[in-house]
Chains A and B, each alone.
Chain A
Amino acid sequence: MGLLSEPGKLEVLLGNEAIARGAIEAGLDVAAAYPGTPSTEIGEALSAAAREVGFHFEWAANEKVATEVAAAAAWSGLRSMAFMKHVGVNVAADAVFTLAYAGVVGGMVFVSADDPHAHSSQNEQDNRLLLRAINLPTVEPADPQEAKDFTRSAFDLSEEYGLPFALRTTTRVSHVRAPVVLGPIRERRGKGRFSPDPPRRYVQVGRLARAHHRELLEKLSRIREEVAEGGEFLRVEGQPGAELGIMTSGVSYNYVWEAVRRLGVEAQIMKLGMTNPLPEGRISDFLREVDTLLVVEELEPVLEADAARLAKEANPDLRIVGKFSGHLPRVGELDPVSVTAAVAEAAGVEFSPPSRGTGAGIDLPPRPPVMCPACPHRATGFALKRVAGRAAFMNDIGCYALLFQKPFELADVTHAMGSSVGFANGLSVATDRQVVALIGDSTFFHAGIPALINAIHHGRKFLLVVMDNRTTAMTGHQPHPGTDLDALGREAFPLDIERVVRGLGVENVWVVDPYDFEETQKAIKEAMGRDGVSVIISRRECALLTVGRLRREGKKIVPYRVDPDRCTHCLVCVKTYACPAFVDTGEKVRIDPAVCFGCGSCVDVCPFQAIVPQEGSLDWRRDGYGV
């Protein structure tokens, strides 16, 4: 397989796979993470390789735990890595801020995968600022080759300086695929040894914390001198002596490189691979050489603020073009059009951006992501909408957040992992409104439990629906503490959510199959009438897992169909269940056989019994699939 091919070989790798390979080349011993786009494929690659190579990898309950697992391994002299999406760093922050004071013995890399444009996220936070606040040295690759090479170097440097190194990517590095030249794989250490030296190295209280803070700043200052200024991660290219300078890092460099070429302008390009600490001396030299500086970076004007600060001393007359001047956006990701336009502006040449959109004056219906055919969340949403539609809905992070869309509209709030339960606490204090909190199984384990404990302790009244689809579905089916296998496919102890909530003291608990509309609606009605916290566990595995199992068992997926003689075109199916297999032909409804999974859950939705099985169709509820 590509990921473990021999050194010197050219393999096509996703940026995230390249990070995994880089870690393996560096002799990775222990890795831990919680899945989140755009970081997940680092873990998918490590899961696939762990047994063969022999290192440990786990999908941890959340990012903070993952960071602590990796940190303890690095304290024990092993090489370790924790990785997460940008908002995962918020969860890990409590651990990693202090970890910078503590330092490490074995090399440790901390990966933050940022998501400019919020392709798959709730915000566009720029973790370069957070990583600076934590005081982690930070490298930023521009493409898969650098993703591999920088990861490997970061391990060595981390060990040399006794400080975790951060690797920060953005979506267009994480999710870009390109040929990568592989390097040699260093031998692993296997078992570590924990013996803090000095003995209170990892004890952070007032006096010790202050001393460790001072040490941390000294390490950073050495890294600035020896690594950043040394130029391992720094490249200056383009036309020597050109009046236009461009400073950039990460994927933005690629847009700059092509823009300069496309426009045929003369420019010197400074590409920063290490963005904390900065090579301030080298940057100052660069600023002295140019009349205009364009700073191209995604999200916040971080490097631009540094350039402005350094220019006061180095070149007070420097004209700086970027975000402060309004030439590049702080919202969304950069692209060839926005960067080429900025380069043209800085160089004083013409560039008319080609048109975007369809360019043909036709109104195309948007196609947002929707719940899959047979998705159990659709069935749970259908029941909630029918009997609890007037409640305030606190939704959470997972596929079920898609219930915000029509026709369900079951999300007054979607926010952060576990927030549904926290907000339900607050609303039940602040208002008399009926409140329903929705959360998935993986998210429940990640951050839902402390908020539930708070609600039970304070006697809050709301309904919590745990939409238990037996996996972490949105990121591609990773295991979690409730599943019976771990990241390496080994047996693991599956925590039972019903026992967890009963153990915490919840008395009103129902477990339902959402495909059973009647039972589910009855449970919701009863639960809404009870005092205190009620919990409904709506349990049915992700439909994609069921379909996969059916295919493996050699069962044929036979779609359902609509009997046109019975269909009155009332559109109740489309307007209340909204399965993507439904097609409104204008006169009848049709089921697209290429989309339908043949689950049979929609049969009871039709008031005219027009949805019928075909020869060989299964009925997942009756036949016991997915539960």
Chain B
Amino acid sequence: MGSDELDEFNIIVAGVGGQGILFTSRVITAAALEAGMRFVQSEVHGLAQRYGSIHTEIRLGRDVRSPLIMPGTLDLLIALEPIEGARFAGYMSGKTSAIVNTYMIPPISAFVEGRKIPELEEILEAIRSAGPGRLVPIPATELAAEAGDPVTTNVVVLGAAAAMGALPFDEGDVRAALGRVTPERYLEVNLRAFDLGRDFVLKGAGR
């Protein structure tokens, strides 16, 4: 798909600092670059990265200028952690696909302050009730462990998103971009993680 065909496609990658949010975003923009698509991506650096809420906003297409997304116009939510995904419920509409890792990382500050942490089901329900066209919960951290390293959680989710057809690229193009962006020594485990995410969707487990 070339840049002429797409006006605007908005993606949020959300999670906890350290989960590989920037890497995931880099794979997506590498695929966009290869496809000759215009894009702009907003990211977070500095103190904000220290185990806090982190997200990137990626906007693909001919008509994008603003580095930030207008709420209500999100096409794809990639949530590497469910609480972090739910924070963007207000960005969704019927056209949104949401893929949400079900592995919860409760913030330590909530335990220190004795705050109640919602159950996974409550969080998924909150996202569902915001009305995304598709919601796919995925046990990505478990699948990543199966691939050989829980650190590849982000790649599992990306593989699932690609297989859902939730990105404006073919699954093979995303996998190729992953190969270009990954350092050699992690290539094998990353491709395995990507395929486990893809297979999870293809088997229909998320429907």
A contact residues vs B (CB 8 Å cutoff): 10, 12, 14, 37-38, 40-41, 119-120, 143, 172, 175-179, 251, 253-255, 257-258, 261-262, 335-337, 340, 353-372, 399, 402, 405-407, 474-476, 571, 574-575, 578-580, 582-584, 592, 594-595
Contact = CB atoms under 8 A, between A and B. Distances in A.
Contacts of A363: 116, 118
A336 B70 contact: yes
A175 B112 contact: no
A255 B66 contact: yes
Contacts of B123: 362, 364
Interface string B166-203: 00000000000000000000000000000000000000
B109 A362 contact: no
A359 to B, nearest CB: 4
| Chain A to chain B: the 4 pairs with minimum beta-carbon distance, closest first | A37-B46, A354-B72, A369-B52, A120-B46
A364 B40 contact: no
A578 B40 CA distance: 37
B70 A354 contact: yes
B24 interface: no
A369 B92 CA distance: 26
24 contacts: A12-B29, A12-B33, A38-B45, A120-B45, A172-B67, A172-B68, A175-B44, A176-B67, A177-B41, A258-B63, A261-B63, A340-B70, A353-B71, A358-B89, A360-B127, A363-B118, A367-B53, A369-B51, A370-B107, A399-B47, A575-B112, A578-B108, A578-B109, A594-B141
B95 interface: no
Contacts of B30: 12
What size tier do the contact residues of chain B reach? 35 or more
A368 B107 CA distance: 8
Given A337-B71, A574-B108, A367 B83 contact: yes
Given A357-B90, A358-B86, A369 B47 contact: yes
Given A360-B127, A580-B51, A40 B45 contact: yes
Contacts of B115: 365
* Contact residues of A: prevailing secondary structure: loop
Contacts of A575: 112
A399 B46 CA distance: 10
B118 A574 contact: no
A361 B50 CA distance: 27
A355 B93 CA distance: 11
B106 A119 contact: no
Interface string B25-62: 00001100100001111111111111111000000000
B81 to A, nearest CB: 9
Contact of A179 (B38, B69, B126, B127): B38
A364 B83 contact: yes
Interface in B121-145: 122-123, 125-127, 129-130, 141
Interface of B: 16-17, 29-30, 33, 38-53, 63-72, 83-84, 86-87, 89-90, 92, 105-113, 115-118, 122-123, 125-127, 129-130, 141, 150
Nearest to A360: B126
A580 B52 contact: no
**Which among B51, B64, B106, B125 has the highest number of chain A CB atoms within 10 Å?**
B51
A405 B109 CA distance: 9
B68 to A, nearest CB: 5
B84 to A, nearest CB: 7
Contact of A399 (B50, B67, B117): B50
Given A177-B41, A358-B126, A336 B68 contact: yes
B51 A370 contact: yes
Nearest to B39: A178
B5 to A, nearest CB: 17
Given A12-B33, A335-B68, A372 B126 contact: no
A391 B66 CA distance: 48
A592 B84 CA distance: 18
B50 A362 contact: no
Contacts of A574: 108, 111-112
B113 A406 contact: yes
Contacts of A340: 70
B71 A580 contact: no
A365 B63 contact: no
Contacts of A407: 112
A446 to B, nearest CB: 16
Contact of B112 (A172, A406, A592): A406
B192 to A, nearest CB: 18
A177 B29 CA distance: 9
A359 B70 CA distance: 14
Contacts of B16: 367
A405 B42 CA distance: 28
A360 B71 CA distance: 14
A475 B45 CA distance: 8
A255 B48 CA distance: 24
Nearest to B108: A580
Nearest to A593: B150
Contacts of A119: 44, 46, 48
Contact of A369 (B48, B90, B106, B112): B48
A172 B83 contact: no
A258 B63 CA distance: 8
A571 B111 CA distance: 9
B118 A254 contact: no
**Which among B43, B107, B111, B126 has the highest number of chain A CB atoms within 10 Å?**
B111
A367 B90 CA distance: 18
Nearest to A359: B90
B165 to A, nearest CB: 24
Contacts of A595: 105
Nearest to A37: B46
Contacts of B69: 336
B108 A579 contact: yes
A54 to B, nearest CB: 27
A178 B61 CA distance: 12
A370 B52 contact: yes
Contacts of A335: 68
A614 B77 CA distance: 37
Given A356-B90, A358-B86, A370 B108 contact: yes
B33 to A, nearest CB: 6
A372 B29 contact: no
B183 to A, nearest CB: 13
Given A12-B29, A178-B41, A120 B47 contact: yes
A595 B104 CA distance: 12
A355 B74 CA distance: 13
Given A119-B48, A176-B42, A574-B111, A354 B90 contact: yes
B46 A474 contact: yes
Contacts of B126: 358, 360-362
A399 B92 CA distance: 34
Contacts of A372: 50-51
A176 B41 contact: yes
B68 A362 contact: no
B111 A358 contact: no
